[in-house]
Structure 1
Amino acid sequence: MEFRLIDGNEVIIKEATKEDAQHMIDFYNVVGGETDFLSFGKDEFNHEVEAYKEFLESTRLEQNSVILLAIIDDKIISIASINSSQKIRIKHVGTLGIVISEQFTGQGLGRRMMEQLIQWATSNGVTNKISLVTRADNSAAIELYEKLGFEKEGQILKDTLIDGVYYNTLVMGLLL
């Protein structure tokens, strides 16, 4: 799928493959240093390339999991995913994660990636709920999630510690 950001840049969204492993690891290690809203910091996405290739390949084979990449000029600018358990009792719930390069925030990319994931989840034949977690003070993300139909389900207190400060985590869900 292709579309244009607000600034006019053309973006391609594609499903991740094992060939993308090193670029994804590199991307995560950079964006980890751009915001404190992620569960990891700069250079903290410590994954061996071969193991990550296996993870990407196994994810591609799951009917209820997907990893999407947003790319401009062969460079990853966002990764968005729904990962789901294969256990019968909970395989209908997908956990959503999204990361956007700081320079491309505010361009409509987050909404577009989320819409793609929701559309995919609605049509995969397994998923009927999407869950996500975000820091409770991440107001811009929460506003987007609510516009897309997510509802607040609960809060985990003092779930994250950054530079000696504790932050709460908000749990949100979307029933499909």
Structure 2
Amino acid sequence: MTTREEMDCTVREAIPADARGVIELLNKTATQTGFMTQGEEGLNITVEEEAHELDSIYSSENNSVIVALVEGKIIGIASISASSKPKIEHIGEIGVVIDKDYWGMGLGRLMMEDILEWADESSILKRLELKVQHRNARARALYESLGFDLEAIMKYGVKDNGEYLDVCLMSKLINQ
């Protein structure tokens, strides 16, 4: 039986200095579960490239990355990625990743609430989308509780260990 421990966790917008920690977390979580689209291949990006990307995201009006830190180490990331193209700049794709050691502590909900609050304050974003494997019932339930609706089930949406799996496309309209 595991118990939930209290911990000091800071959630804030990512800055360029977080680049190494972001890469480390994404590479670590890539193989913790079959729910990620990235695998053993890793991110394949330099710290400098990631720092540049975080810098441009930080100054964007329709993109954001937030990080969760425990004892100075990044343990979670939530992001909104949107295009700069005028016809689709209002659509943001949400991504969330949390180190498996911190699952079940409410961090996913906390990070989603923070990124949704950021999106609500955006004057550009009107539609949020995310993709989640159908078999990831906990994540789907979280997204539904936050107002996301199932739009489609994409057959063969991802392949994990040679098995083709369904992926749910979910969305939420904001700033109506």
- TM-score normalised by structure 1 residue count: 0.93
Which segments of 5 or more consecutive residues in structure 2 lack a partner in the other structure? none
Q: Secondary structure at the match of 2:62?
A: coil
CA drift at 1:95: 0.5
Measured after TM superposition, the shift of residue 116 of structure 1 is 0.5
2:79 aligns with: 81
Matched, 1:25 2:23: yes
What 5-or-longer segments of structure 1 have no aligned partner?
A: 1-5
**8 Å Cα contact 1:31-1:100 kept in structure 2:** yes
Q: Which amino acid aligns with 1:8?
A: E
* Pairing partner for 1:59 from 37, 57, 60: 57
Structure 1 residue 42: Cα displacement: 3.7
Q: Percent identity?
A: 32
Deviates more, 1:38-47 or 1:19-28: 38-47
Equivalent pairs counted in the alignment come to: 171
Q: TM-score, normalised by structure 2?
A: 0.93
SS at match of 2:61: coil
> Is the partner of 1:107 in helix, strand or coil?
coil
Q: Tell me the C-alpha RMSD between the 2 structures.
A: 1.1
Aligned residue number for residue 129 of structure 1: 127
Secondary structure in 1 aligned to 2:51? Answer: helix
Whether contact under 8 Å (1:153, 1:172) holds in the other structure is yes
Q: Which position in structure 2 is the counterpart of 1:3?
A: none
SS of alignment partner, residue 8 of structure 1: coil
Report 1:17-166 matches (<5 A). 17-42=15-40, 44-166=42-164
Query: Which consecutive segments of 4 or more residues in structure 1 shift more than 4 A?
Result: none
**One-letter amino acid of the counterpart of residue 79, structure 2:** S
